[in-house]
Amino acid sequence: MNKALRLAFILLSASSPSVCMAHGFGQIFALPMPFWMVAWASAAVLLITFVLLALSKPTQHAPTTCTAKSRPNTQHRRWFIRWAQTVSLVVFFLALYAGFAGTQNRNNNLAMTYFWILWLLAGVYAMGLLGGFTGDWFQHVHPYRLLFGGLKTKRLPYPAWLSHWPAVLGLVGMAWLELFGHTRPNDVAWMLSLYGAYVLLGCWLWGSTEFFAKVDWFSVYFDWLHRLGVSVRQHIQSGVRAISATPSLQHAAPSMASVVFVLGLFATTAFDGLKDTQWWLTTVWPWFVDAAAPWIGYSSAALKANPMQASALLGGAFGVFEQATLLLSPLALGAVFCATLHWGLRWGRAPLSLAQGVLLFGPALMPIVLAYSLSHYFTLILTQGVQMVHLLSDPVGRGWNLLGTRNLWRSPILLNAQLVWWIQLGMIMAGHVLSAVLAHHQAFAHCPTRRQANLSQLPVLGLMVALTVLGLWILSQPLQLGR
């Protein structure tokens, strides 16, 4: 199966067509091949990957385990961890101070870049790509864990019915804040402070171990990324010949809520990309005007002829519609995912219930989640993320030069639009190929015969193709100017 993965990537590089558009630059690039060729070529890569996996020899669960390399707790390692923890807390409190006391210019205040770029983008990508080799480093530098991790005594038992649902709500709340909060540095500082009070209360009630495992959405997110990193390391080093002793995507999800969390990661990222496209403005907004105009006593034709009036009358309602779409998107994706698994398990006559299938196959979506996040946001690290060097010297935007790096790397790194598209295309396809490999591994492990395993993956293949084409189509759309 590991050979099949390598062949799939070779076919990917050989069959990817030239680009046709570029998402994020507000314009269309007329290139040799239209988008439908991109879609067909991407679908062909997934189909060939499926065939290679279907013909490959099923891997068996070995009695031995493939564990991570031992990392002796040497004095140098302990010193490095303490140094990293100190830096983490210093930068955290510096960002808080900057948010409250510094300039409210988003680009010149450390709080915005620290939280949205360094923590939620660079940190996420580092864990997802390297976590299998470095270990779960986030637990060592998580500011809230450093501050409140010592509160291990439980004063109340954690309700079993809550499971990971608080983390799901935290994820959706953070997505809402990003897309609709229009946050300034002061807002980020207040959010981090209030969330810190929430963490303190949760650790005091249920103990820090339970809280960071199920309630804190940051920790749950990075735990999934660490599982992904472990799976990537296994494929690089030895394929999927054994179940790792370290939790990875080969293990079943710990709860149904944790699978909803993964679905939420994908759905909110896809909605973020879709909402900012010109297609959303030219298709969804006119449809909404048509549907809502009669309710306020206007004709849709009159409102479309007067865009300013339409925006004044229906802009607020359209914002509510967008927020409702964000909240419902994980449920919609979950329904499609469950329907796909239902038919897959039925066609393959797998001895699994739908609930068991969701827990087993849900983790296989994580490579797609990371691929979508990378493809949508990696340019922000090159444009705004590089300014961390400057902002650490002047965190409040008052002309300070604490580290002597003021005005260093202030210019964004701008890549050629066509190069960005190639990178995005590669990321999307790599994520789907790895997800297909992981899903086939689970099918071979839990279906009695190869034929049953392959049949169970046919609907999954259809879902993978649909998500691939959707993701690439969103990326190919020009953005709304000014958004």
- pLDDT at 42 (0 to 100): 87
The rounded radius of gyration (Å) of the Cα atoms in the chain is: 24
pTM of the model: 0.86
Q: State both tokens at 383.
A: 């444009």
321 phi/psi in degrees, rounded to 5 = -60, -45
Q: What angle do CA 336, 439, 451 make, to 5 degrees?
A: 100
Q: Hey, CA dihedral for 44, 46, 47, 49, is it positive or negative? A: positive
Give backbone dihedrals phi and psi of 213, rounded to 5 degrees, phi first: -85, -30
Length of the chain: 483
CA dihedral sign, ordered 57, 62, 64, 70: positive
In DSSP terms, 479 is beta-bridged to 277
Contact partners, residue 389, CB within 8 Å, separation at least 6: 405, 408, 409
What's the maximum distance between 2 C-alpha atoms anywhere in the chain?
A: 74
| 413: three-class secondary structure by DSSP | coil
Taking CA atoms, 339 is separated from 331, 355, 357, in Å, by 12, 12, 11
Burial class, 413, CB count within 10 angstroms (exposed 0-12 / middle 13-18 / buried 19+) = exposed
Q: How confident is the prediction along the chain (483 residues), in pLDDT tens digits per residue?
A: 444 434 333 334 433 433 344 443 334 444 446 788 888 888 898 999 888 888 876 555 443 344 444 455 577 778 988 999 999 999 999 999 999 999 999 889 999 999 999 988 888 888 888 887 777 888 899 999 999 999 999 999 999 999 999 999 999 999 999 999 889 999 999 999 999 999 999 999 999 999 999 999 999 999 999 888 888 777 666 544 444 445 567 788 899 999 999 999 999 999 998 998 889 989 999 999 999 999 988 888 888 888 898 889 999 999 999 999 999 999 999 999 999 999 999 988 888 899 999 999 999 999 999 999 998 888 888 888 888 999 999 999 998 999 888 888 778 888 887 888 888 888 999 999 989 888 888 888 888 888 888 899 999 999 999 998 998 888 888 776 554
CA pair distance 358, 99, nearest whole angstrom: 41
Look-up of token digits 């909404």 = 288
Show Cβ contacts of residue 15 under 8 Å, excluding neighbours closer than 6 positions: 41, 44, 45
Tokens of 53: 């996996």
- Packed helices 217-237 and 256-275: angle between N→C axes, nearest 10 degrees: 90
